A and B are shown apart, each in its own frame.
Chain A
Amino acid sequence: MRGPVRDAALAAFVAAALALPMLGFRLVDSASGLTLAGRFDLVAWAAGLVFAGRLGLRLLGGLLPSLPALPAPPARLGDMRRHAGWALTAFALVLPFLPFADRNLVDKATLVLIYVMLGWGLNIVVGLAGLLDLGFVAFYAVGAYSYALLSQTFGLSFWVCLPLAGLFAALFGLVLGFPVLRLRGDYIAIVTMGLGEIIRVVLQNWQDVTGGPNGITGIERPSLFGLSFKATAPEGQRTFAEFFGLEFSGDHRVIFLYFLILALALATNLFTLRIRRLPVGRAWEALREDEIACRSLGINPTMVKLSAFALGAMFAGFAGSFFATRQGFISPESFTFHESAVILAIVVLGGMGSQIGIVLAALLLVGLPEWFRELQQFRMLAFGGAMVLIMLWKPAGLLSRRDPTIRLGDAG
């Protein structure tokens, strides 16, 4: 008993010392400049909480030798996961028509799906090819701005711009990736982060084209085979509601956008699942495991990495143009490093390479905080805390078991 108490007291002491300057004093603006106000009760609270928490953890840890282990993975986990995938897809398909699904929920689900798609795109780069990309948001931005600019300058529709946006993002990936990908592991991380920042700074300052910090407003909304979702159709067109003889409702567009991103995300998923079975997909995974072995087998690492980088960028570009069309407004604010970090966190927390893990992580990191929007101020605190805790709890990610893509014979 003495050990845990002493340990907890020590932890509480450290907490008090940490909290003393930052919580114990508060900087207050006053007429005579900055002054200080004391609130030492908060320090006591912090120390008390840490004491109780630490003691509780230690005592619990003593009682239960280990946390209840997760149920042992069934032998046919691969099958189970495939069923789970189908079940999730089916659920996603009927979600907007369920009784409890209001506009708000569908909107949030759309947001989560954007991150799922971005996660699946980044998964090609990080999870499959093993390249740590901290600037993924750059391609997302390229996609969004490509659509916004093409649509506003040339009046092209969303459906024409979507592939173009993906193409531009992929091109960016190729051009930026070429010098970068000859570098060793962690340098790629810092350089991609730098590139992400460069693109953001350019977007922010190239006033004539990108509108600078004000961004681009009034971006064209998508239509379904020429049927628009507005209340009244422009000259020579019909609205969705008219065509199907429905009463006009703003919900139609929300639901349409939801299905649009669902289709895009599923396409990304399908692409990833299939390409893993192609030579290039196998080369990505081989490269991740051992670059030297790959080189001796005649794989050109730069080209293989570049293909992963460009394909990942392409999906980010698709997601970006969807983002632009959904918001109707984009500005550099939406493409900060923070976004890259969130997407990377989704991939890593999901267990790199696991498609369903990414869905879970996106629900956890994007969906859950959306729910607590009222607690705005503590939302980010909890978000960061969750990132740390999940990593401490499962360092390899939520669903880290990875089935080999190829087996010899019937083994397994």
Chain B
Amino acid sequence: MEYFLQQMINGLTLGSIYGLIAIGYTMVYSILGMINFAHGTIYMLGAFISLIAYLAATTIGGAPVVVALMVALFATMAFTALWGWTMERVAYRPLRQAPRLAPLISAIGVSIVLQNFVAQAQGARVKPLPPVIQGGFTLMDGDGFSVNLSWMQIIVIVMTLALMAGFSWMIAHTRLGRAQRACEQDMKMASLLGIDIDRVVSTTFVIGAALAGVAGLMVTLYYGVIDFYIGFLAGIKAFTAAVLGGIGSLPGAMLGGLLIGLIEALWSAYFSIEYKDVATFGILIMVLVFRPTGLLGRPDVEKI
């Protein structure tokens, strides 16, 4: 029982990170109908930028840990947002009218470029960061096994919830959110009604990238090791989460992320850690076969 609870906590933490990345996928997909393959790479960039910003603040700026973390958070969000914006501007916008596969290939190209850029600029070796935030609570003490909830886990989960809440509010209540929902339904009609499509798409990329950046920051702090390759698998899993939850749905992305995190943690704990990715993808396939719209997705109507 204690073991199970501990795995639930670990899974929820991991799932929060997937959920944050999944939002970027789901938003871009619902507006442009395109799998933004390079999104996982943005998350990796976020991890690197946060590590660099944190080190810059502590070693060069001499800032205390809390301040350094805030600096890292804002720097990460700002810079990943800029990367996301540039990416859309350079590699996707010219292809908006192109055949469906063109932006996908372009996105794969972008992610290869960014991965190798980081490998060249920062070295291919794994980058370790000693734990910054330590300590936590012991929730339960069973026979020889205690359930721990670390501060870091609390921070990850709370921050994810806060960002999700803020973001959902934005989609539901602001002008920008309304514009996004309009574009999602019918881009041509939205532009006829005076919505600046380019701006909406750009903001979508900016927000998605910033959220992925935060996920990167949290991963750096939580696991303490990053390398230039982490974006690929995390990206696939986050996309899986988005599809699992129902693409286009924000709560779906979060739910999907949490589920993937839980499946991964529980599977590693009870079955075999080597096959955890098989479990994730296996479940994705099951869901798609039996419920192709995902858990919370709307069924789409086929129009002729």
CB within 8 Å of B: which residues of A?
14, 17-18, 20-23, 25-27, 29, 33-36, 126, 132, 179-180, 182-187, 189-191, 193-195, 197-198, 201-202, 204-205, 292, 337-338, 341, 344-345, 348-349, 352, 377-378, 380-381, 383-388, 391-392, 395-396
B112 touches A197 (CB 8 A): no
A393's nearest neighbour on chain B, judged by CB, is B94
A22 touches B118 (CB 8 A): yes
Render B173-198 as a binary contact track against A, CB cut-off 8 A, 1 for contact. Answer: 00000000000000000000000000
A337's nearest neighbour on chain B, judged by CB, is B232
**Complexed CA–CA distance, A132 and B100 (Å):** 10
A187-B292, A201-B275, A384-B113 known; A395 vs B95 contact (CB < 8 Å): yes
In the assembled complex, 11 residue pairs joining A and B whose CB atoms fall closer than 8 Å, in A order, are A18-B79, A190-B239, A201-B278, A205-B274, A292-B304, A338-B112, A385-B109, A387-B112, A391-B105, A392-B94, A396-B102
Q: How far is the CB of A400 from chain B (nearest CB, A)?
A: 8
Name B113's contact: one of A14, A21, A388 (CB within 8 Å). A388
Name B278's contact: one of A25, A198, A386, A391 (CB within 8 Å). A198
Name B106's contact: one of A190, A338, A381, A388 (CB within 8 Å). A388
Residues of B within 8 Å of A34, CB to CB, are 51, 55, 127-129
A21 touches B49 (CB 8 A): yes
B52 touches A395 (CB 8 A): no
Residues of B within 8 Å of A179, CB to CB, are 285, 289
B278 touches A202 (CB 8 A): yes
**Complexed CA–CA distance, A179 and B290 (Å):** 9
Render B74-89 as a binary contact track against A, CB cut-off 8 A, 1 for contact. Answer: 0100010011001000
Is the C-beta of B236 less than 8 angstroms from some C-beta in chain A? yes
**Complexed CA–CA distance, A184 and B300 (Å):** 10
Residues of B within 8 Å of A191, CB to CB, are 284-285, 288
| Extra A-B contacts (12), CB below 8 Å, given A14-B86, A34-B129, A194-B284 | A23-B121, A25-B52, A27-B127, A182-B289, A182-B292, A185-B100, A194-B236, A194-B280, A198-B277, A345-B109, A387-B108, A391-B105
A14-B82, A34-B127, A201-B277 known; A388 vs B109 contact (CB < 8 Å): yes
Residues of A within 8 Å of B52, CB to CB, are 21-22, 25, 27, 36
Residues of A within 8 Å of B280, CB to CB, are 194
Is the C-beta of B142 less than 8 angstroms from some C-beta in chain A? no
Residues of A within 8 Å of B101, CB to CB, are 126, 132, 348, 352
Q: How far is the CB of A61 from chain B (nearest CB, A)?
A: 13
Residues of B within 8 Å of A392, CB to CB, are 91, 94-95, 106
Is the C-beta of B141 less than 8 angstroms from some C-beta in chain A? no
B98 touches A396 (CB 8 A): yes
Q: How far is the CB of A226 from chain B (nearest CB, A)?
A: 42
Residues of A within 8 Å of B33, CB to CB, are 186
Residues of A within 8 Å of B285, CB to CB, are 179-180, 191, 194-195
**Complexed CA–CA distance, A378 and B280 (Å):** 34
A200's nearest neighbour on chain B, judged by CB, is B277
**Complexed CA–CA distance, A381 and B121 (Å):** 12
B-side interface size class = 35 or more
Residues of A within 8 Å of B55, CB to CB, are 25, 27, 34-36
Render B106-122 as a binary contact track against A, CB cut-off 8 A, 1 for contact. Answer: 10111111111110111
Residues of B within 8 Å of A391, CB to CB, are 91, 95, 98, 102-103, 105-106, 109
Residues of B within 8 Å of A14, CB to CB, are 82, 86
**Complexed CA–CA distance, A383 and B116 (Å):** 10
CB within 8 Å of A: which residues of B?
29, 33, 35, 45, 48-49, 51-53, 55-56, 59-60, 75, 79, 82-83, 86, 90-91, 94-95, 98-106, 108-118, 120-123, 125, 127-130, 232, 236, 239-240, 243, 272, 274-275, 277-278, 280-282, 284-285, 288-289, 292, 302, 304
Residues of B within 8 Å of A377, CB to CB, are 116, 120
A23's nearest neighbour on chain B, judged by CB, is B121
Looking at A25, A33, A197, the one whose CB has the most chain B CB atoms below 10 A away is A25
A198-B282, A380-B116 known; A26 vs B122 contact (CB < 8 Å): yes
**Complexed CA–CA distance, A183 and B49 (Å):** 38
Residues of A within 8 Å of B281, CB to CB, are 194-195, 197-198
Q: How far is the CB of A28 from chain B (nearest CB, A)?
A: 8
B123's nearest neighbour on chain A, judged by CB, is A27
**Complexed CA–CA distance, A348 and B37 (Å):** 16
B106 touches A387 (CB 8 A): yes
Q: How far is the CB of B53 from chain A (nearest CB, A)?
A: 7
Q: How far is the CB of B119 from chain A (nearest CB, A)?
A: 8
**Complexed CA–CA distance, A25 and B118 (Å):** 12
A183-B288, A193-B236 known; A22 vs B49 contact (CB < 8 Å): yes
Q: How far is the CB of A188 from chain B (nearest CB, A)?
A: 9
Q: How far is the CB of B215 from chain A (nearest CB, A)?
A: 17
Nearest first, the 3 closest Cβ-Cβ pairs linking A and B are A387-B109, A384-B112, A395-B98
A189's nearest neighbour on chain B, judged by CB, is B35
A187-B288, A195-B281 known; A381 vs B82 contact (CB < 8 Å): no
**Complexed CA–CA distance, A194 and B272 (Å):** 18
B109 touches A18 (CB 8 A): no
**Complexed CA–CA distance, A349 and B105 (Å):** 8
**Complexed CA–CA distance, A202 and B117 (Å):** 30
**Complexed CA–CA distance, A193 and B233 (Å):** 11
Residues of A within 8 Å of B106, CB to CB, are 387-388, 391-392
A21 touches B109 (CB 8 A): no
Residues of A within 8 Å of B117, CB to CB, are 22, 381
Residues of A within 8 Å of B277, CB to CB, are 197-198, 201
**Complexed CA–CA distance, A341 and B235 (Å):** 15
Q: How far is the CB of B207 from chain A (nearest CB, A)?
A: 18
B243 touches A22 (CB 8 A): no
Q: How far is the CB of B280 from chain A (nearest CB, A)?
A: 8
Q: How far is the CB of A168 from chain B (nearest CB, A)?
A: 20
A126's nearest neighbour on chain B, judged by CB, is B101
A27-B122, A395-B98 known; A194 vs B113 contact (CB < 8 Å): no
B116 touches A395 (CB 8 A): no
**Complexed CA–CA distance, A392 and B130 (Å):** 43
